Amino acid sequence: MSGIEIERVTYEGWEECIRITNGQIELVATTDIGPRIVDFRQTDGENVFFLDESATGTTGDDGWELYGGHRLWHSPESDPRTYQPDNEPIAAEVTERGCRLVQPVEAETGIRKAIEIEMAEDEPAVELTHELTNEGAWSVELAPWAISVCKPGGTAVVPFPDGDPDELLPDRSLVFWPSTDIGDERLSYVDDHVLVEQADGPELKIGANGREGWTAYVNDGQAFIKTFEHDSGKTYPDRGASIEVFMLDFMLELETLGPLVELDPGETASHTERWHLVDGVTQPEEGADAAALTPE
């Protein structure tokens, strides 16, 4: 018999939410908006996500709201395509180990977003499958884009190991958005990874090809680790990025992406992340071993 408990709850002003726990971790998804996961924590811990207090418990208006938590977008980023509001109630189906959240079709894009959540029974881990379905009349090129809005004060870890010294062609990429200063003191290029310290300063965003298939955010002694499958044989958006980190003064977004696909009407593109919470992790710094964060 499953040790997973699933219940309908209210959360921070949202009336219709689903709480999932296995006794080690718990997750809350609201169905008043979304699909949106608004809380992820150890059962005796604090939420790893940032929530916008001015929007928490609301359903926004006609425009897009940050809200916080974890959301699904489609890449490449474009306004207004990417910034479609997710302020309407969504459909939710409770499953044996979690739930499935399905958004109404976006009127301007013809895309339907869905997130399926399956919690592990005996470890602090949960799997999220992000789906984009083309309900429109013509094909569209896109990539699933899973975005976790994390609380301030931590450090993002982006693996960037050495390549094969016998190869003659480049095998890694690190990309910078126009607002980012590559000499920003909050960026550190150390050992086999790039560190992004969440701290006050100008807007910052970087991306990497993420061939190791994981990234993490370490905050107050706990690592929030996201693993995913990177396919080196496929093309990723944003000059090959499957991991992206975006930072403002009050939060840090830890993002992973699937490869670009030409999605015909009726077809679905999916991207799966597996989340882990690990305690007793020191704040990464020069000399830290990124492999120590990698889940077994």
DSSP of 205-274, one letter per residue? EEEE--TT-EEEEEETTEEEEEE----TTS--HHHH-SEEEEEETTEEEEEEE---EEE-TT-EEEEEEE
Q: What span, in angstroms and rounded, lies between the C-alpha atoms of 284 and 159?
A: 12
**What's the confidence (pLDDT) of residue 100?**
98
Cβ atoms of 153 and 219 within 8 Å: the answer is yes
β-strand pairing of 155-159 with 140-150? unpaired
Residues in the chain with pLDDT values less than 50: 1, 287
**What's the confidence (pLDDT) of residue 1?**
38
Cβ atoms of 149 and 139 within 8 Å: the answer is no
Find the angle CA(82)-CA(84)-CA(88) to the nearest 5 degrees.
145
Domains of the chain with bracketed CATH: 5-293 (2.70.98.10)
- For residue 50, give the nearest of 277, 275, 249 by alpha carbon: 249
pTM: 0.95
Q: What span, in angstroms and rounded, lies between the C-alpha atoms of 117 and 120?
A: 10
* Residue 253 CB partners (closer than 8 Å, separation 6+): 147, 148, 149, 150, 244, 245, 246, 247
Q: What span, in angstroms and rounded, lies between the C-alpha atoms of 168 and 175?
A: 21
- Asked, as a colleague might, if the bond just before 202 is cis with ω within 30 of 0, I would say no
Cβ atoms of 168 and 94 within 8 Å: the answer is no
Structure tokens at 234: 């496929």
In order of 50, 88, 208, 239, 260, the CA distances from 270 in angstroms are: 25, 22, 20, 20, 11
DSSP 281: P
Structure tokens at 166: 């016998």
- For residue 30, give the nearest of 43, 11, 48 by alpha carbon: 11
**What's the confidence (pLDDT) of residue 290?**
52
**What's the confidence (pLDDT) of residue 146?**
98
Identity of residue 294:
T
